[in-house]
A and B are shown apart, each in its own frame.
Chain A
Amino acid sequence: MDGQLLSETFVELTDTMVDDFDVIDFLHVLTDRSVVLLDVSAAGLLLADPRGELRVVAASSEAARLLELFQLQNDQGPCLDCFRTGQPVTAADLDAGAHRWPRFAAAARQAGFAAVQALPMRLRDQVIGALNLFRATPGAFDPANVRIGQALADVATISLLHERSMRQSDTLNEQLQTALNSRVIIEQAKGKLAERLGIDMTQAFSLLRGAARDRNLRLADLAQAFIDGTEPLTGDAAARAPQRPGGQLRPAPRRGSRRRP
């Protein structure tokens, strides 16, 4: 466990009161850091949509099969159980748990995951989503890591909804809907950029994210400008497209004072 990174992550996850708070970037930070800090292979985050479905809003790996995996969970799986009950759900060995969620287990195995830990994003009696940790090897999750994972999910939930929003469910619903629409704009921009440069979706996302941070823009605003044609992103393409397929985590410019050495 990287103690310094852990402290920095908690600071970052509570730094949401700024005017230009970027929900989508914030949730990506949460999933990226979860992978590094909690010794897992991948992390994903689902949020509830008032339409009655769960939606993927962030994932540490942009692989389409991971997204497919999440979508399958709309039918069955530990993450859905976690969301419905508001309780953590563990599947330490998906082969052994196959009788509970046969389709989910098969899809997860196909994507290369053997164990899942789902942690609720919960504030008082309201469950807004779930943070899901995936590991390539079977076996029990380290209880200390699970506690830290739940703490990350709790802090993220509180930060996301902060107190003044919670008293006013109108505001909460407005913010969640806006975030979900932002996710769609970003996917559209990824497609346009991937096609323009002949790169894959993971590279396109890294490039968009890097460009947003360089310009100190919210990711969705940059994506919108790119689709509208007011932001061509040409300089960024040459500089970055080939080299950062994994979507490395870099602190946003506005958080520069907390940048790691």
Chain B
Amino acid sequence: MTVSRAGRIWALIAVQAARRGGDVSAADACAAAVAAVSVTGGWLAAAGDGDAVHLIWIADVVSDQLAELQLTLGEGPSLDVSASGGPVLASDLGTTEAAHRWPAFTPAACQAGAGAIFAFPLRIGAIRAGVLGMYRTQPGPLSTSQLGDALVFADTATLLLLDAPGQAVGGPGAEAGPGGQPADLALHRAEIDQATGMLTEQLGTGIADAFIRLRAYAYVNDLRLTDVARDIVARRLRLYPDPGPSQDGES
């Protein structure tokens, strides 16, 4: 079930990139998500240093306004997502609950033309890549299936952002999951998360770079990410900092 959903979503993203005429990017994932999940528009903000965010894609004028409003007012779904690490699902901005949640943003967003807003963390545990926002002109919740799709689009956009030029350290190409493994399957295994944490110590890097190195090692050696992670957790494999992409420490 998961694999076919991930495969279907990768295909939608690839088609979107082809239509645009470029390599697959996080922006393509967001554009494809907006179409697939039946929302009106959306925006993609990448996390910068500290609390800084960079708006790197918008679907339309209203999306631009919504993203800007949040920066200006200092409140809104994107900021809540960054704080909590979970999604924000505000399926009706006309409710008093929404008005209480964001006293300044809600009326401004309604005026801009939004009836519902959904925002998803682009995040793997402590690795923060950004936020994917979506809006609808009419109020109404995402269906269970739309929510599931949106989360997988967000997972995929996370990987694409982490692999984007300037981020990757000899990282794998964006189109394929490491070792041919569907990307989202890799996201939820405890051993991968544990191995990523171990690599921060072995490599002396932050958590995002540790994850990139882990995936790069699997990709370069044509191994499944899960298998590499399992070897690291079992202490059969160590990775070393800088000299060379990675070394096998098996003794």
Interface footprint category on B:
35 or more
Within 8 A of B (CB), among A61-81: 64, 67, 71, 74
Indicate whether A56 sits within 8 Å of B151 (C-beta atoms), given known contacts A188-B197, A195-B201. Answer: no
Contact across chains for B233 and A201 when beta carbons are under 8 A apart: yes
Contact across chains for A177 and B86 when beta carbons are under 8 A apart: yes
Q: Render A177-200 as a binary contact track against B, CB cut-off 8 A, 1 for contact.
A: 111011011111111111110000
- Residue B167 CB within 8 A of the other chain: no
Kindly list chain A residues whose C-beta atoms are within 8 Å of the C-beta of B88: 174
The CB with the most chain B CB atoms within 10 A, among A64, A195, A223, is that of A195
Kindly list chain B residues whose C-beta atoms are within 8 Å of the C-beta of A174: 84, 86-89
B38 to chain A, nearest CB (A): 16
How far apart are the CA atoms of A175 and B89 in the complex, in Å? Answer: 10
Instruction: Kindly identify which residue among A51, A177, A187 contacts B2, using a CB–CB cutoff of 8 Å.
Output: A51
Q: Render B157-185 as a binary contact track against A, CB cut-off 8 A, 1 for contact.
A: 00000000000000000000000000010
How far apart are the CA atoms of A201 and B197 in the complex, in Å? Answer: 11
Instruction: Kindly identify which residue among B126, B155, B188, B195 contacts A227, using a CB–CB cutoff of 8 Å.
Output: B126
Query: Residue of A at shortest CB range from B121?
Result: A181
Query: Residue of A at shortest CB range from B118?
Result: A170
Binds A, one of B20-28, B104-112, B140-148: B140-148
Contact across chains for B193 and A188 when beta carbons are under 8 A apart: yes
B4 to chain A, nearest CB (A): 9
- Residue B202 CB within 8 A of the other chain: yes
Instruction: Kindly identify which residue among A71, A169, A170, A201 contacts B189, using a CB–CB cutoff of 8 Å.
Output: A71
Contact across chains for A177 and B194 when beta carbons are under 8 A apart: no
B80 to chain A, nearest CB (A): 9
Contact across chains for A50 and B148 when beta carbons are under 8 A apart: yes
- Residue B124 CB within 8 A of the other chain: yes
Instruction: Kindly identify which residue among B91, B126, B144 contacts A224, using a CB–CB cutoff of 8 Å.
Output: B126
Kindly list chain B residues whose C-beta atoms are within 8 Å of the C-beta of A14: none
Contact across chains for A175 and B197 when beta carbons are under 8 A apart: no
Within 8 A of B (CB), among A47-100: 49-53, 55-56, 64, 67, 71, 74
Chain B interface main SS type: helix
- Residue B56 CB within 8 A of the other chain: no
How far apart are the CA atoms of A67 and B152 in the complex, in Å? Answer: 22
Kindly list chain B residues whose C-beta atoms are within 8 Å of the C-beta of A20: none
Within 8 A of B (CB), among A11-43: none
- Residue A137 CB within 8 A of the other chain: no
How far apart are the CA atoms of A171 and B84 in the complex, in Å? Answer: 13
The CB with the most chain A CB atoms within 10 A, among B189, B197, B199, is that of B197
Contact across chains for A52 and B148 when beta carbons are under 8 A apart: yes
- Residue B198 CB within 8 A of the other chain: yes
Indicate whether A182 sits within 8 Å of B85 (C-beta atoms), given known contacts A170-B91, A191-B233, A201-B233. Answer: yes
- Residue A125 CB within 8 A of the other chain: no
How far apart are the CA atoms of A246 and B135 in the complex, in Å? Answer: 47
Contact across chains for A193 and B197 when beta carbons are under 8 A apart: yes
B10 to chain A, nearest CB (A): 14
Query: Residue of A at shortest CB range from B88?
Result: A174
Contact across chains for B190 and A170 when beta carbons are under 8 A apart: no
How far apart are the CA atoms of A7 and B96 in the complex, in Å? Answer: 39
Residues on A facing B (Cβ under 8 Å) = 49-53, 55-56, 64, 67, 71, 74, 168-171, 173-175, 177-179, 181-182, 184-196, 201, 220, 223-224, 227-228
- Known: A50-B151, A192-B198, A228-B126; 11 extra A-B contacts, CB below 8 A, are A51-B184, A52-B5, A52-B148, A64-B190, A169-B141, A175-B86, A177-B151, A178-B86, A184-B188, A187-B190, A201-B194
Sort A-B residue pairs by CB-CB distance and give the 10 closest, nearest first.
A191-B197, A178-B86, A184-B125, A187-B193, A191-B194, A192-B197, A170-B89, A195-B198, A195-B201, A188-B197
